[in-house]
Amino acid sequence: MKEIHICIGSACHVKGSYQVVQRFKELVAERGLENEVELMGTFCLDACSDGVAVKVDDHIYTVKPEGVDQLFDQIMEGNNGCH
């Protein structure tokens, strides 16, 4: 199970965290990964610089709404065959 924590702090909200969450939800549904991916909201991750902060396995990424597809692929890579 991958936990994807998406910042819903005020700075990230302004940069589109709502759209980021929606796109992650769509991708999870499209790929049928409901049992493998858990989406969670989190408060400010102190990474409010460039886009919306997303934390996975203690790694913090920043993403814009249009970059979610690419980030999702990056997160799911290396997760093959090891659940």
Q: For the chain, where are the alpha helices, taking DSSP H only? A: 10-14, 17-30, 68-76
Q: Identity (one letter) of the amino acid at 16?
A: G
What is the largest distance, in Å, between two alpha-carbon atoms of the chain? 37
Q: How far is the CB of 21 from ligand FES (least distance, A)?
A: 12
Q: How far is the CB of 59 from ligand FES (least distance, A)?
A: 14
- Given the complex with ligand FES, which of 47 and 71 has the nearer CB atom? 47
Cα–Cα distance between 59 and 47 in angstroms, integer? 11
- Given the complex with ligand FES, which of 36 and 66 has the nearer CB atom? 66
Coil/strand/helix, residue 52: strand
- Given the complex with ligand FES, which of 33 and 64 has the nearer CB atom? 64
Q: How far is the CB of 46 from ligand FES (least distance, A)?
A: 6
